[in-house]
């Protein structure tokens, strides 16, 4: 077993860490107050080659691994989870296309967005006001009309919605079939694609989410990704991968909380000594650092499995819920260690606490992650040999 990154991954990690130190961390608090898309920083990230890493070379991308993407997300998430989300949003928007679209489709619709001077954006349009966790309950419809589809519906919480040039839209082509009737489309921006309400959030204010309204939007049949009815599967396969990216941002937040709290505990003196000397604080720091480290290992393991074509639903769910719970706990603990200072807006840890909360919610709540993981665990247990040979049949009452 080798825990080392490859030379290419190590270089990417160092570049992303350096980028974060120079362009994200020093400006995160100031930019957050503007409550808008951090255009300038994202432009720089694009120029530095930190975006669109998973697009295959045949469609103009670098064709890097999911592990590489998680390295960038962890490094940038350390500086600001909101900016990291703005930077990595194309990973989510384009992943269904990398999974389900042909190379010709990628060349036509994605390549122009990732090879120009300016960054262009995609937006992943799955969630609706009445269909969040219950994806199959969506109301957006796509109706075939000759060589076109007509799409109608309203999506919400759409990251980079107002910035996007291409929308990856999930819509029902056969509502009576529920999840088996969902299909995936690439929808270029047009006058019939409208931006609705912009959400006001508790944290992650360096990323923008909005409603996106599709009103009689006509797209050629070539915009269908995969076949009709494959949309649900494409969405699930996408989230299996991209949840490792959220886990990576959360790992960055969890580590930042450790580092800020440890720095403070070293210099803050009470009762004649640094507060880090007190076991009450030292033990908290040890637990926080262990959580961040375990989050990193689960995240990179999930990404590594996906890169090796192994089943990843359970592992990306583990990574997502563990890392985001770690981020939240560590942020709360960092605020506590810093006491009154932790609660002030000019220090970074109150922002970590607000930002961490969203990592427990977006790309599937942590309850959904536990559901996904438990389904896999129960499925795997059917053929599991624990070495204990007394049969459980007929023993659903007390064992004695």
In angstroms, what is the minimal distance from the CB of 35 to ligand COS?
20
Q: What is the CA radius of gyration of the chain?
A: 22
* Among residues 237, 295, 323, 335, the one that binds ligand COS under rule CB under 6 A: 237
Tokens of 185: 């489309």
Answer whether 81's CB lies under 8 Å from 255's CB. no
Answer whether 291's CB lies under 8 Å from 257's CB. no
By CB under 6 A, is residue 236 in contact with ligand COS?
A: yes
By CB under 6 A, is residue 154 in contact with ligand COS?
A: no
Site for ligand COS in 325-384 (CB under 6 A): 362-364, 368, 371-372
Tokens of 304: 């590594």
Answer whether 356's CB lies under 8 Å from 328's CB. yes
Residue 98 and residue 108: Cα distance in Å, rounded?
13
Looking at beta carbons only, is 128 or 333 nearer to ligand COS? 128
Looking at beta carbons only, is 66 or 257 nearer to ligand COS? 66
Residue 174 and residue 169: Cα distance in Å, rounded?
15
Tell me 219's DSSP state: E
* Among residues 46, 149, 232, 264, the one that binds ligand COS under rule CB under 6 A: 232
Contact window for ligand COS (CB under 6 A) among 3-11, 235-243, 266-274, 339-347: 235-243
* Among residues 126, 298, 335, 349, the one that binds ligand COS under rule CB under 6 A: 126
- φ, ψ at 39 (rounded to 5°): -55, -50
Residue 178 and residue 138: Cα distance in Å, rounded?
9
By CB under 6 A, is residue 313 in contact with ligand COS?
A: yes
Q: Locate tokens 């996106």: which residue?
A: 212
* Among residues 27, 179, 201, 218, the one that binds ligand COS under rule CB under 6 A: 179
In angstroms, what is the minimal distance from the CB of 256 to ligand COS?
23
Tell me 28's DSSP state: H
Q: Which residues are catalytic?
A: 363
Query: Hey, how many other C-beta atoms are within 10 angstroms of the C-beta on 191?
Result: 7
Strands 121-125 and 164-172, how do they pair?
A: parallel
Tell me 25's DSSP state: G
Looking at beta carbons only, is 315 or 350 nearer to ligand COS? 315
Tokens of 22: 């120079």
Count of residues engaged in binding ligand COS, rule: CB under 6 A? 19
* Among residues 141, 233, 268, 354, the one that binds ligand COS under rule CB under 6 A: 233
| Residue number, nearest CB to ligand COS | 364
* Among residues 17, 136, 139, 150, the one that binds ligand COS under rule CB under 6 A: 136
Looking at beta carbons only, is 228 or 350 nearer to ligand COS? 228
**Binding stretches for ligand COS (CB under 6 A):** 126-127, 133, 135-136, 179, 232-233, 236-237, 239-240, 313, 362-364, 368, 371-372
């Amino acid at each position: 077993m080798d825990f080392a990154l490859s030379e290419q991954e190590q270089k990417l990690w160092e570049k992303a860490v350096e980028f974060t130190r120079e362009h994200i961390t020093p400006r995160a608090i100031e930019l957050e107050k503007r409550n808008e898309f951090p255009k300038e920083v994202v432009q720089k990230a694009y120029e530095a080659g930190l975006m669109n890493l998973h697009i295959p070379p045949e469609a103009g991308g670098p064709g890097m691994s999911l592990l590489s993407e998680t390295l960038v997300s962890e490094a940038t998430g350390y500086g600001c989870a909101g900016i990291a989300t703005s930077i990595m949003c194309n990973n989510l928007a384009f992943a269904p296309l990398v999974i389900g679209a042909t190379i010709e489709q990628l060349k036509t619709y994605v390549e122009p967005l990732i090879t120009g001077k300016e960054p262009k954006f995609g937006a992943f349009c799955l969630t609706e006001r009445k269909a969040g966790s219950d994806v199959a309950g969506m109301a957006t419809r796509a109706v075939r009309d000759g060589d076109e589809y007509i799409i109608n519906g309203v999506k919400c919480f759409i990251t980079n919605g107002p910035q996007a040039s291409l929308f990856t839209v999930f819509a029902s082509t056969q509502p009576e079939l529920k999840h088996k009737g969902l299909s995936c489309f690439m929808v270029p921006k047009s006058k019939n694609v409208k931006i609705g309400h912009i959400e006001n959030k508790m944290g992650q204010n360096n990323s923008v989410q909005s409603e996106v309204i599709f009103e009689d939007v006509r797209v050629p049949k070539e915009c269908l990704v995969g076949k009709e009815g494959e949309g649900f599967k494409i969405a699930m396969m996408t989230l299996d991968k991209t949840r490792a990216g959220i886990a990576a941002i959360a790992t960055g937040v969890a580590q930042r909380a450790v580092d800020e709290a440890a720095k403070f505990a070293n210099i803050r003196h009470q009762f004649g000594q640094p507060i880090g000397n007190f076991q009450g604080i030292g033990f908290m720091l040890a637990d926080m650092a262990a959580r961040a480290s375990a989050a990193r290992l689960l995240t990179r393991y999930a990404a590594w499995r996906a890169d090796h074509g192994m089943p990843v639903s359970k592992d990306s769910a583990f990574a997502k819920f563990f890392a985001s719970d770690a981020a939240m706990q560590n942020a709360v603990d960092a605020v506590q260690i810093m006491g009154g200072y932790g609660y002030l807006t000019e220090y970074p840890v109150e922002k970590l606490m607000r930002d961490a909360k969203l990592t427990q919610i977006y790309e599937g709540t942590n309850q959904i992650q536990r559901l996904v993981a438990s389904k896999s665990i129960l499925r795997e247990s059917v053929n599991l040999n624990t070495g204990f040979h007394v049969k459980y049949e007929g023993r659903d009452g007390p064992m004695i």
